[in-house]
Chains A and B, each alone.
Chain A
Amino acid sequence: MSTVTVDGVEVEVAPGATVLEAARAAGRWVPTVCFDERQAPFGACRVCLVGIEGSPKPLPACTTPCREGMTIATEDATARRVAGAVVELVLSELPEAPAPHTELAQVAARLGVEETRWPGTVHQTDEDFRHPYLALRHELCISCGRCVRACDEVQGAFALTATGRGFEANITAGLDAGFEDSTCVSCGACADTCPTDAITEIRLLPQSTEEGWK
């Protein structure tokens, strides 16, 4: 065990614990987007930045291991400014604001990101409703990789892959054949982890009527 200080509170953490785990153990909130406790830390989104005493710049909490005596500031001004800008950039690519119940919308609200200062090209609507349970709306994908990792690390079906680069980056099920014709086992772990509803239960979409439910 080692002892670290989070926002002035001392907490004991297990060997190998990350700064994010320490912050959560101390009851402190750290914004995250690409993190899911069921998956190995990925460190891609750079939203979970925190200040660490002695470090010249903020560090991502989800991939930084704790050191004995470390002093962590979850509300470090630079960290929060950068995290807010990252979320704002992510939102700028979406054709519509993510639904209020989604993780991305909640992180944005808590960071005080209301609208983006960088209007520009947004993703075009590209929907796949072929599967009886799973809806795929590519335009809401922010390439956090959580669905791909859920499919690989939680289920082990390897049905989803990341494709494209930059603005074109997205995910694809079964080399674009759709869920049904891939190795997908319909477990729904991807929909469960998606922070934007790019993959969601088809029955939860507004266009899905009561009568259509099965």
Chain B
Amino acid sequence: MTTTCGYCGVGCRLETHVRGGRIASITPALDGPANLGHTCLKGRFAHGFTRSPDRLTTPLIREQGELRPASWGEALARVVAELERVKRDHGADAVAGLASSRATNEDCYAMQRLIRAAVGTNNIDNCSRVCHSPTSFAMRKSFGLSGATGSFSDIDHAEVALLLGVNPTQGHPVVGARIKQAALRGCKLITIDPRRIELADYGAIHLAPRPGTNAAVVLGLCHVVRRDGFVDEGFVAARTEGYDVLAELLESYDPAAVEEITGIPAAELEAAAHLYAEAGSASLLWGLGVTEHKYGSEVVQLLCNLAMMTGKVGKPGSALLPLRGQNNVQGSSDMGALPDTYTAYRSVEDEQVALSFEAEWGVPLSRHKGMKIPEMFDAAIAGELKAMYIFGEDVAQTDPDIAHVAAALEGLEFLVCQEIFLNETTNYADVVLPASAFLEKEGTFTNAERRFQVVEPALDPPGEAKTDFEIITTVSRALGHEMGWETPWDALDEIARLTPEYAGVSHERLGRGGLQWPVRADGSDSPTLYDTTFDRPGGRGHFAPLPYKPPGDAADEEFPLVLVTGRVLQHYNAGTMTRRTANADLVDRDLLEIHPVDAARLWIADGDRVSVRSRVGRTEIEARITERIEPGHVFTSFHFPETRTNLLIGQSADVNTSCPEYKVVAVDVRPIAEQPAFSPALGTTT
């Protein structure tokens, strides 16, 4: 059986080999367009979690504080009774649902239909809120469509690749390997990251800005491009609007001013700008190091500016490629599992669009935007949100300020979780529904290059667990809204019927290679966007004149170091899957990376447990001394629940999309045995 990997957003095609009802082995599909016969240790080896002894195999209901096994009939009756009660007593807007970026397009589409049509509210969101919602917002503003402008194959043709806030050899290993191979063949890399990432060792230039200063870096690059005459005047005149206002703003970002803000030596910034601008083709790649900031969405708009100024968009080798975190970050949002949009980012306030969905679903639909995830938690604490249906997301581990999240979940009258394992969030659940992993479901995922790819089940869900698609459609039926689908392919047909951008998508047409949206009715797809026109009114790309603004947090005397969080190769986000495989034998804990200079000053030795305290929380992590990180900064991952990394993260979030600022947190680090009063004096270092 050939399927699509359920780990990161690269979208590797995998061959599954089953023996005796379990996966014996997984090998990469030789014809996978994103992976070309390769995959990483997560896709290839980390499948054992599917038959882990602690998989949820029966519904659970909370009774006298404890979760106990229950039948499907009993669990569904409880879910329906509670959701209907809350709706009757407090209105439909007192209910909210979360779809999952790990689930299929059809699961996410069904989930948003459940919340919109069966419950009657737009309070639906998905976990891309906390990762790439800024990318989606910004690319729609600048270019028109929410997705990469090209394909991973552009990496193979690029003379230069500029990587900002992304560490592909850890987070997106197969694309990381592809970039490394391109670099070995002569593609020049510009890496920009507070940490010296592995690809920096293979690159031409590495810039290490202070966390939270990406905007100044990109404005500085644009300044040099303009100052030194590298603007593609023809492209700017014919294809774009708003350049003059940007040009005026760029005046104040000369390399010396940018060095002041970012710490990047002026000469290095100039060299990077020249390398990018002089290349015949150059691609831009970014990740959560760009988006998970207070002004993350604005930095993506600034990157779009840089590409448009130099005419490096919509051409072979010149693509903008956001590397999506989870396997279906792209698709879960494409499918309308968002509080303000239906499929393909069409507003819930758009009368024509709403009417088309009302006609298909046969129910009246709300024209008011719903709540984003952080707003849901605030509303729960305020007593306005009473019930949540959370599907495939461990918000109590992965969302910021988890003390706040816990208070919100505690405050709900009813919480149903649809999960494959018990987790931090199910501690607050009244009902837990046992669901399925990617190796047990069928449907489609959409990877980071906008490619719909087929997912085929290799296994049945264990015990009484069911596929997410079956659970959601069953709950909807019990709530009185029959979706009328037998299989996920029926849902995909409905998506295609109601969404012009996906008009030509069908199970048969996707075949082994998938299709990159927009897919026209005749089935032709779009590996490259914007080769002749942008998808905005008038067809012109928009230059956003956005100045640098400081991040939401900054080091000070009490919290002198800046913490950046991220992931490591061997594990995946909350670790729910990878911690239940032998990947945990390779890496069994989160580590706090700290520069030798800081470590010496704080009397910290490699391997010491240290206390990490931020303005909102405190946790303990083992220190790892490394020169990959700059003095003044520390780094850790968030794969192990016992680390509780997200206790440290505050409420600061992207101004446009509420994506949390996971990447800039001022912290105080000290050895655990040390009493604060006797610790060495701490100077401000950033």
Seen from chain A, the residues whose Cβ lies within 8 Å of a Cβ on chain B are: 37-38, 132-133, 153-156, 180, 185-189, 192, 201, 203-204, 210, 213-214
A110 to chain B, nearest CB (A): 20
B70 to chain A: which residues have CB within 8 Å? Answer: none
Question: Considering residues B41, B48, B184, which has the most beta carbons from chain A within 10 angstroms of its beta carbon?
Answer: B41
**Which listed segment binds A: B20-28, B326-334, B618-626?**
B20-28
B502 to chain A, nearest CB (A): 32
Are A188's CB and B184's CB within 8 A?
no
6 cross-chain pairs, A with B, having the tightest CB-CB distances, nearest first: A132-B582, A186-B41, A156-B180, A132-B585, A214-B582, A188-B44
Are A188's CB and B45's CB within 8 A?
yes
Are B24's CB and A204's CB within 8 A?
yes
Are A156's CB and B41's CB within 8 A?
no
Are A133's CB and B41's CB within 8 A?
yes
Give per-residue flags for B12-44: 1 if the beta carbon is below 8 A from chain A beta carbons, else 0.
Answer: 000000001010110110100000111111001
Residue of B nearest to A200 (CB): B25
B37 to chain A: which residues have CB within 8 Å? Answer: 37-38, 154, 192
A192 to chain B: which residues have CB within 8 Å? Answer: 27-28, 37, 44
B30 to chain A: which residues have CB within 8 Å? Answer: 37-38
Supposing A180-B586, A214-B581 touch, asked if A203 and B24 sit within 8 A by C-beta, the answer is yes
8 Å CB contact of B38 from A38, A203, A213 = A38
Are A156's CB and B25's CB within 8 A?
no
Beyond the given pairs A154-B181, A186-B570, 8 more chain A to chain B contacts, judged by CB atoms under 8 angstroms and listed by A's residue number, are A132-B583, A133-B45, A154-B37, A187-B41, A188-B44, A192-B37, A204-B24, A214-B581
Task: Indicate whether B569 reaches chain A with its CB closer than 8 angstroms.
Answer: yes
B38 to chain A: which residues have CB within 8 Å? Answer: 38, 154-155, 187, 189
A155 to chain B: which residues have CB within 8 Å? Answer: 38, 177
Task: Indicate whether B173 reaches chain A with its CB closer than 8 angstroms.
Answer: yes
B584 to chain A, nearest CB (A): 8
A214 to chain B: which residues have CB within 8 Å? Answer: 48, 580-582, 585
Residue of A nearest to B28 (CB): A192
Task: Report Cα–Cα, A210/B48, bound state, in Å.
Answer: 11
Supposing A203-B24, A203-B25, A204-B25 touch, asked if A153 and B181 sit within 8 A by C-beta, the answer is yes
Task: Report Cα–Cα, A31/B580, bound state, in Å.
Answer: 41
B48 to chain A: which residues have CB within 8 Å? Answer: 213-214
A189 to chain B: which residues have CB within 8 Å? Answer: 38
Residue of B nearest to A157 (CB): B177
A86 to chain B, nearest CB (A): 25
> Interface SS of chain A: helix, strand, loop or mixed?
loop
Supposing A37-B30, A133-B582, A156-B184 touch, asked if A187 and B25 sit within 8 A by C-beta, the answer is no
8 Å CB contact of B45 from A38, A180, A186 = A186
Task: Report Cα–Cα, A154/B37, bound state, in Å.
Answer: 9
8 Å CB contact of B39 from A156, A187, A201 = A187
- The size bracket of the interface on B is 20 to 34
B439 to chain A, nearest CB (A): 14
Residue of B nearest to A179 (CB): B586
B34 to chain A, nearest CB (A): 14
Task: Report Cα–Cα, A210/B24, bound state, in Å.
Answer: 10
Give per-residue flags for B161-192: 1 if the beta carbon is below 8 A from chain A beta carbons, else 0.
Answer: 00000000100010001001100100000000
A38 to chain B: which residues have CB within 8 Å? Answer: 30, 36-38
Are A186's CB and B586's CB within 8 A?
yes
Task: Report Cα–Cα, A192/B173, bound state, in Å.
Answer: 16
A82 to chain B, nearest CB (A): 28
A203 to chain B: which residues have CB within 8 Å? Answer: 24-25
A186 to chain B: which residues have CB within 8 Å? Answer: 41, 45, 570, 586
Are A132's CB and B44's CB within 8 A?
no
Give 27 CB contacts A-B under 8 Å.
A38-B30, A38-B36, A38-B37, A133-B582, A153-B181, A154-B38, A155-B38, A156-B177, A185-B40, A186-B45, A186-B570, A186-B586, A187-B38, A187-B41, A187-B44, A187-B177, A188-B39, A188-B44, A189-B38, A192-B28, A201-B25, A203-B24, A203-B25, A204-B25, A210-B20, A214-B48, A214-B585
Residue of B nearest to A210 (CB): B20
B100 to chain A, nearest CB (A): 25
Are A187's CB and B40's CB within 8 A?
yes
Residue of A nearest to B179 (CB): A156
A185 to chain B: which residues have CB within 8 Å? Answer: 40-41, 169, 173, 569
A209 to chain B, nearest CB (A): 12
B36 to chain A: which residues have CB within 8 Å? Answer: 38
A187 to chain B, nearest CB (A): 5
Task: Report Cα–Cα, A132/B184, bound state, in Å.
Answer: 30
Are A187's CB and B173's CB within 8 A?
yes
Are A154's CB and B44's CB within 8 A?
no
B180 to chain A: which residues have CB within 8 Å? Answer: 156
Give per-residue flags for B42-56: 1 if the beta carbon is below 8 A from chain A beta carbons, else 0.
Answer: 001100100000000
A37 to chain B: which residues have CB within 8 Å? Answer: 30, 37
B585 to chain A: which residues have CB within 8 Å? Answer: 132, 214
B22 to chain A: which residues have CB within 8 Å? Answer: 213
B2 to chain A, nearest CB (A): 15
A154 to chain B: which residues have CB within 8 Å? Answer: 37-38, 177, 181
Task: Report Cα–Cα, A214/B586, bound state, in Å.
Answer: 13
A153 to chain B: which residues have CB within 8 Å? Answer: 181
Question: Considering residues A153, A156, A204, which has the most beta carbons from chain B within 10 angstroms of its beta carbon?
Answer: A156
B25 to chain A: which residues have CB within 8 Å? Answer: 201, 203-204
Per the 8 Å Cβ criterion, residues 368-414 of B in contact with A are none
B569 to chain A: which residues have CB within 8 Å? Answer: 185
Task: Report Cα–Cα, A204/B582, bound state, in Å.
Answer: 15
B49 to chain A, nearest CB (A): 9
Residue of A nearest to B582 (CB): A132
Per the 8 Å Cβ criterion, residues 564-589 of B in contact with A are 569-570, 580-583, 585-586
Residue of B nearest to A180 (CB): B586
Task: Report Cα–Cα, A203/B583, bound state, in Å.
Answer: 14
B173 to chain A: which residues have CB within 8 Å? Answer: 185, 187
Task: Report Cα–Cα, A156/B28, bound state, in Å.
Answer: 17
A204 to chain B, nearest CB (A): 6
Task: Report Cα–Cα, A132/B584, bound state, in Å.
Answer: 10
Question: Considering residues B25, B28, B45, B582, which has the most beta carbons from chain A within 10 angstroms of its beta carbon?
Answer: B45
Task: Report Cα–Cα, A204/B36, bound state, in Å.
Answer: 24
Task: Report Cα–Cα, A189/B27, bound state, in Å.
Answer: 9
Supposing A37-B30, A156-B177, A156-B180 touch, asked if A188 and B24 sit within 8 A by C-beta, the answer is no
Residue of B nearest to A132 (CB): B582
Question: Considering residues B36, B37, B570, B583, which has the most beta carbons from chain A within 10 angstroms of its beta carbon?
Answer: B37
A60 to chain B, nearest CB (A): 22
Give per-residue flags for B292-308: 1 if the beta carbon is below 8 A from chain A beta carbons, else 0.
Answer: 00000000000000000
Task: Report Cα–Cα, A204/B24, bound state, in Å.
Answer: 7
Task: Report Cα–Cα, A95/B643, bound state, in Å.
Answer: 49
A201 to chain B: which residues have CB within 8 Å? Answer: 25, 45
